[in-house]
């Protein structure tokens, strides 16, 4: 049974213009940054970087992500799926390694979504948008207030 004080616990953060976190707050991210510098952490992070590098590179080489997401670009369905579904991982690796290119790529993915129309996110037949929402949560403080509100 939930205690009465468990509901509405985010109200205090919102009053202070904070954003309640679903996964990590800054202190937890700082702890993760230390963990990825251990031998095991380096192996895990290295594998993630190798897997994400071509996705980040292609996103950076794609001039208009809106066209890509709307299917007006070659091979768009598979790649746009990768961008949305991996946006959280791209942002997380970027933050953990302080890789501005990765963070900027994740932000660019997030900033594109409002331009696609409400139906784009509502039609989630593949179940990828929960990952997109985690990326939003992770990078919320790096989004402009208008973009954060639009998403």
Which tokens in the block code for residue 140?
A: 């919320």
pLDDT (0 to 100) of residue 7: 54
Check if the beta carbon of residue 100 is closer than 8 Å to that of residue 133.
no
Tokens 């501005």 belong to residue: 100
Contacts of 59 (CB under 8 A, 6+ apart): 65, 83, 105, 108, 109
Q: What angle do CA 45, 57, 23 make, to 5 degrees?
A: 45
Percent above pLDDT 90 for the chain: 36
pLDDT (0 to 100) of residue 28: 86
Q: Residue range 18-30: average pLDDT?
A: 78
| C-alpha closest to that of 91 among 62, 34, 147, 52 | 52
Q: Is 77 exposed, middle or buried (0-12, 13-18, 19+ CB in 10 A)?
A: exposed
| C-alpha closest to that of 83 among 129, 45, 31 | 129
pLDDT (0 to 100) of residue 2: 42
Q: Residue range 42-54: average pLDDT?
A: 95
Tell me the whole-structure pTM to 2 decimals.
0.79
Q: What angle do CA 140, 141, 144 make, to 5 degrees?
A: 85
Lowest mean pLDDT among 22-31, 32-41, 69-78, 115-124: 115-124
pLDDT (0 to 100) of residue 11: 65
Distance CA 7, CA 4 (A): 6
Conformational region of residue 8, where left means phi above 0, alpha means psi within -120 to 50, and beta covers everything else: left
Q: Is residue 12 pLDDT above 50, yes or no?
A: yes
* End-to-end CA gap in the chain: 33
Contacts of 96 (CB under 8 A, 6+ apart): 29, 32, 33, 36, 45
Structure confidence by residue, pLDDT tens digits, 94-151: 999 999 999 999 999 998 887 777 656 555 555 556 777 888 889 988 888 888 887 7
Higher-confidence residue: 136 or 16? 136
């Amino acid at each position: 049974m939930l205690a009465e004080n468990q509901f509405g616990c985010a109200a205090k953060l919102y009053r202070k213009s904070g954003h309640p976190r679903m996964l990590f707050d800054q202190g937890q991210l700082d702890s993760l940054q230390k963990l990825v510098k251990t031998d095991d952490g380096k192996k895990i992070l290295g594998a993630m970087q190798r897997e994400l590098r071509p996705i980040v590179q292609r996103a950076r080489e794609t001039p208009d992500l809106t066209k890509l997401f709307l299917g007006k670009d070659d091979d768009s369905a598979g790649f746009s799926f990768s961008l949305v579904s991996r946006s959280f991982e791209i942002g997380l690796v970027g933050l953990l390694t302080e890789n501005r290119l990765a963070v900027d790529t994740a932000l660019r993915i997030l900033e594109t979504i409002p331009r696609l129309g409400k139906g784009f996110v509502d039609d989630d037949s593949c179940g990828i948008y929960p990952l997109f929402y985690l990326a939003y949560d992770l990078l919320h403080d790096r989004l402009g207030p208008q973009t954060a509100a639009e998403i």
